[in-house]
């Protein structure tokens, strides 16, 4: 496997800084301080215009003076001083850089020019750099921290890449208290040279990283993001939080189907397609990421719950069930093993509630071990393990009635307990476990869990939701996504139809052309005939199965129904002739008229293609017909799709009941429907002239989908 270039950037044997001095109240100095004092053992070369020693290190006036080309250069220089120094590093032979400095693209047009110059210098010298306007990186494996906040814990398992610098540094204290430890963290800033997709790719390869969390504010290259993520997610979990812009600003014009979906829905679809689990708060990004990074894989959906109080037990059970778990009643055999360990009337059936018992070892070790070994559950959520933390709280009052030294001894005794075996339970049994506790690392149990990669959540519901994330990942691991997309052969007929329209300078195809184009790709459409004149009617009449619809067919005529240019449910040839005449009378003597056999069926769906400027070509599927807007139930995927991806997409609509034996109708043939979507998804890639395809409705006739109306828009 070739390694990402970021491996080299993240593992430098030597680092130079530009912009760090001896004034510790300056940002630049704080960055250097982290590098020097957090445990990095490589060489460090401060560049400083005046001082000969910076924070105890020999300083150099220019990169050109350095005894070697440092592998990594860190820039905290003001933006107006940056470029010449950056270029000198290029000259000196440095290949990797991190530009913390702000004041580039994010500040407007001047900044954009400056950023372009930075990129050009990097290109000139073959340099790769993170930033500008970022917070730097953390590589916990080598205790390298280039951010302002010092490291507060050792190496961890969670990879983190962020479009907000804050999130790799400001919460380090918060994270340390929860025991959440990064493997590698990257703040990508303006992404002038290295972007979050590069970071994702690198974290996917990195062996220390067992799960990846991404904080995303905007993606540039969705196709590459999908390609990279697809390779990672089957073997390494990826979580993402996406924060869209304001509702007003972020909503893109998705044309016809688009009134109902902003880009947020596209991100939903993209993440689903990529096998990425989406979360909606940074707390979950960290916490659930940590659970995924640390715990054994979940092998089923049966949850065991062990608690010392009923409320949290109920909350965990309830939240687990809402998340797709069962909380199965334990077998009599297992209950017989558990009951002797508990007070007489305490429930042992799952949840196991040992009530207010003081023997925490039973709660935290003996019972979970029995439950894990029973073969009756696939995971365990434990609430209530606490010892010294609880005793310290009691101490205040106890010291008023007992010898204070005795009270302290009790706390010390609790803190001396060896929990080595207890914190091995999930790993020895190969069954994931998460902890719910109102106590934090003040408590001996919680401290041990935290230090030994067992995630602790501060309320019961969160612990249960973390398990839910493990279940989501189980589904992602097990899903079939298909080997890319099945081959769809370019259609000569489609090329001809488009060519004709383009040569006429048209912006869209007419309905007949659109359906012929779809049909040429094997998508079933309603049977129909274009009528040029009355003389053809008799001949066509013989071929028709009634009832039929008669409608005008011209790419420029809108509002057909309102103008009386559509006649439905016509039962015979006479009716067709009447309708034909009325349409010509209204819309013109030579206007083409379409006769379509009506497709019987009460279920209507929609499908579509939308090419978004710089944001991919998307395939849509949803509930269509008269419910399009009212149910607002459409899902999206990046084109092209495999048949398996199309199947998964179909199952993502909210109203899946319409796909089953709705009102005693035959269930929809999902293979046929998936095939329609898969074929549809290929069309815009074969025909870049197509900007948008809007199919609504697809009527389900018996079990089979038939396209009844379609609009195809051309252009870029």
Q: Are 559 and 567 in contact (CB under 8 A)?
A: no
Closer Cβ to a second copy, 32 or 552, answer by number = 32
What span, in angstroms and rounded, lies between the C-alpha atoms of 275 and 237? 8
Determine if 170 is a binding residue for a second copy (CB under 8 A).
yes
Position among 397, 571, 574, 666 found at the interface with a second copy (CB under 8 A): 397
Pairs from 693-696 (Cβ < 8 Å, separation ≥ 24): 693/514, 693/518, 693/607, 693/608, 693/609, 694/255, 694/256, 694/257, 694/606, 694/608, 695/518, 695/606, 695/607, 695/608, 696/256, 696/257, 696/604, 696/605, 696/606, 696/607, 696/608, 696/624, 696/625, 696/628
Determine if 282 is a binding residue for a second copy (CB under 8 A).
yes
Determine if 439 is a binding residue for a second copy (CB under 8 A).
yes
**Three-state SS at 404:** helix
What does DSSP assign to residue 674? Answer: H
Q: Please report how many Cα atoms fall inside a 13 Å half-sphere around the Cα of residue 711, on the Cβ side.
A: 16
Residue 436 phi/psi, 5-degree rounding, is -115, 130
Determine if 460 is a binding residue for a second copy (CB under 8 A).
yes
Determine if 452 is a binding residue for a second copy (CB under 8 A).
no
Closer Cβ to a second copy, 113 or 585, answer by number = 113
Q: What is the 3-state secondary structure (H, E, C) of 628-651?
A: HHHHCCEEEEECCCCHHHHHHHHC
Q: Please report how many Cα atoms fall inside a 13 Å half-sphere around the Cα of residue 643, on the Cβ side.
A: 9
Neighbours of 293 (CB within 10 A): 25
Closer Cβ to a second copy, 359 or 428, answer by number = 359
Determine if 268 is a binding residue for a second copy (CB under 8 A).
no
Q: Are 85 and 75 in contact (CB under 8 A)?
A: yes
Q: Which among 23-31, 518-526, 537-545, 702-710 is the span making contact with a second copy, rule CB under 8 A?
A: 23-31
Residue 696 phi/psi, 5-degree rounding, is -165, 115
What span, in angstroms and rounded, lies between the C-alpha atoms of 330 and 320? 16
Position among 1, 400, 405, 487 found at the interface with a second copy (CB under 8 A): 400
Helical (H) or strand (E) element with 699: strand 690-701
**Positions 486 through 515 that interact with a second copy (CB under 8 A):** none
Q: Which among 164-172, 359-367, 475-483, 642-650 is the span making contact with a second copy, rule CB under 8 A?
A: 164-172
Determine if 174 is a binding residue for a second copy (CB under 8 A).
yes
Position among 53, 64, 113, 394 found at the interface with a second copy (CB under 8 A): 394
Determine if 547 is a binding residue for a second copy (CB under 8 A).
no
In the shown chain, the binding pattern of residues 177 to 216 toward a second copy, with x for contact by CB under 8 A and - for none, equals x-------------------------------------x-
Determine if 317 is a binding residue for a second copy (CB under 8 A).
yes
Smallest separation, CB 282 to a second copy (Å): 5
**Positions 26 through 85 that interact with a second copy (CB under 8 A):** 27, 30, 33-34, 36-38, 55-56
**Positions 339 through 358 that interact with a second copy (CB under 8 A):** 344-345, 355-356, 358
Q: Which residues pair with 144 in a beta bridge?
A: 139
Q: Which among 102-110, 535-543, 580-588, 607-615 is the span making contact with a second copy, rule CB under 8 A?
A: 102-110
Closer Cβ to a second copy, 34 or 337, answer by number = 34
Closer Cβ to a second copy, 315 or 595, answer by number = 315
Reading across the β-sheet that carries 238-242, which strands appear in turn?
144-145, 137-139, 182-187, 158-162, 211-216, 238-242, 277-279
Determine if 114 is a binding residue for a second copy (CB under 8 A).
no
Q: Which among 280-288, 361-369, 533-541, 702-710 is the span making contact with a second copy, rule CB under 8 A?
A: 280-288
Closer Cβ to a second copy, 14 or 318, answer by number = 318
Determine if 553 is a binding residue for a second copy (CB under 8 A).
no
Determine if 12 is a binding residue for a second copy (CB under 8 A).
no
Closer Cβ to a second copy, 94 or 145, answer by number = 145
Q: Quick one: tokens of 16? A: 């130079």
CA distances from 10 to 41, 144, 153, 169, 548 (A): 14, 9, 18, 16, 67
């Amino acid at each position: 496997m070739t390694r990402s270039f970021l491996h080299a950037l993240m593992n430098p044997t030597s680092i130079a800084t530009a912009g760090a001095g001896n004034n510790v109240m300056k940002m630049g100095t704080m960055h250097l301080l982290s590098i020097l004092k957090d445990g990095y053992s490589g060489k460090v070369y401060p560049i400083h215009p005046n001082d000969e020693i910076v924070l105890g290190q020999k300083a150099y006036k220019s990169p050109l003076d350095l005894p070697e080309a440092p592998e990594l250069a860190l820039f905290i220089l003001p933006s107006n001083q940056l470029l010449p120094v950056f270029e000198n590093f290029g000259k000196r032979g440095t290949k990797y850089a991190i530009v913390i400095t702000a004041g580039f693209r994010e500040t407007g047009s001047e900044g954009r020019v400056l950023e372009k110059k930075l990129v050009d210098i990097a290109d000139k010298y073959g340099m790769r750099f993170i930033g500008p306007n970022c917070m730097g990186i953390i590589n916990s494996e080598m205790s390298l921290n280039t951010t302002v906040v010092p490291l507060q814990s050792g190496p961890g398992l969670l990879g983190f890449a962020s479009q907000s610098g804050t999130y790799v540094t400001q919460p380090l204290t918060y994270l340390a208290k929860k025991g959440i430890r990064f493997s590698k963290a990257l703040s990508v800033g303006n992404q002038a040279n290295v972007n979050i997709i590069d970071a994702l790719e690198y974290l996917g390869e990195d062996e220390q990283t067992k799960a990846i969390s991404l904080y995303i504010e905007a993606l540039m290259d969705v196709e590459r993001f999908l390609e990279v993520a697809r390779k990672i997610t089957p073997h390494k979990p990826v979580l993402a939080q996406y924060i869209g812009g304001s509702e007003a600003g972020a909503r893109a014009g998705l044309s016809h189907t688009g009134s109902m979906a902003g880009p947020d829905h596209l991100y939903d679809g993209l993440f689903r397609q990529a096998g990425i689990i989406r979360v909606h708060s940074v707390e979950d990004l960290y916490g659930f990421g940590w659970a995924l990074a640390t715990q054994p894989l979940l092998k089923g959906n049966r949850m065991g719950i062990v608690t010392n109080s009923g409320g949290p037990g109920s909350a965990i059970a309830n939240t687990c069930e809402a998340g797709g778990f069962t909380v199965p009643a334990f077998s009599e055999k297992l209950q017989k093993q558990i009951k002797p360990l508990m007070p007489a009337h305490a429930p042992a059936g799952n949840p196991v509630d040992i009530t207010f018992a003081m023997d925490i070892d039973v709660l935290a070790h003996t019972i979970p071990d029995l439950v894990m070994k029973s073969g009756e559950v696939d995971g365990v959520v434990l609430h209530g393990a606490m010892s010294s933390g609880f005793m310290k709280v009691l101490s205040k009052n106890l010291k008023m009635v007992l010898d204070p030294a005795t009270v302290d001894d009790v706390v010390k005794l609790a803190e001396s307990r060896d929990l080595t075996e207890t914190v091995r339970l999930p790993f020895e049994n190969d069954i994931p476990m998460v902890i719910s506790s109102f106590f934090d690392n003040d408590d001996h149990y919680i401290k041990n869990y935290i230090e030994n990669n067992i995630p602790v959540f501060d309320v019961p519901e969160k612990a249960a939701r973390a398990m839910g994330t493990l279940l989501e990942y189980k589904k992602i691991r097990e899903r079939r996504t298909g080997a890319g997309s099945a081959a769809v052969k370019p259609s000569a007929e489609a090329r001809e139809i488009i060519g004709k329209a383009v040569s006429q300078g048209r912006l869209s195809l007419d309905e007949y052309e659109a359906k012929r184009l779809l049909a040429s790709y094997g998508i079933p459409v309603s049977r129909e005939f274009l009528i040029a004149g009355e003389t053809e009617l008799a001949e066509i009449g013989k071929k028709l199965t009634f009832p039929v619809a008669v409608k005008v067919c011209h790419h420029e005529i809108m509002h057909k129904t309102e103008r009386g240019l559509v006649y439905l449910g016509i039962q015979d040839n006479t009716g067709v002739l009447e309708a034909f005449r009325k349409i010509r009378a209204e819309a013109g003597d030579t206007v083409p008229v379409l006769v379509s056999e009506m497709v019987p069926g009460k279920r209507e769906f929609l499908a579509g293609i939308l090419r978004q400027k710089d944001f991919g070509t998307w395939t849509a599927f949803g509930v269509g017909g008269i419910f399009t807007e009212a149910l607002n139930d459409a899902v999206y995927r990046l084109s092209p799709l495999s048949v398996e991806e199309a199947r998964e997409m179909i199952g993502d609509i909210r109203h899946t009941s319409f796909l089953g034996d709705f009102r005693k109708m035959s269930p929809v043939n999902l293979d046929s429907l998936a095939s329609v979507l898969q074929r549809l998804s290929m069309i815009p890639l074969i025909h870049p002239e197509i900007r948008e395809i809007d199919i609504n409705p697809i009527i389900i006739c018996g079990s089979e989908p038939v396209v009844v109306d379609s609009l195809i828009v051309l252009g870029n």
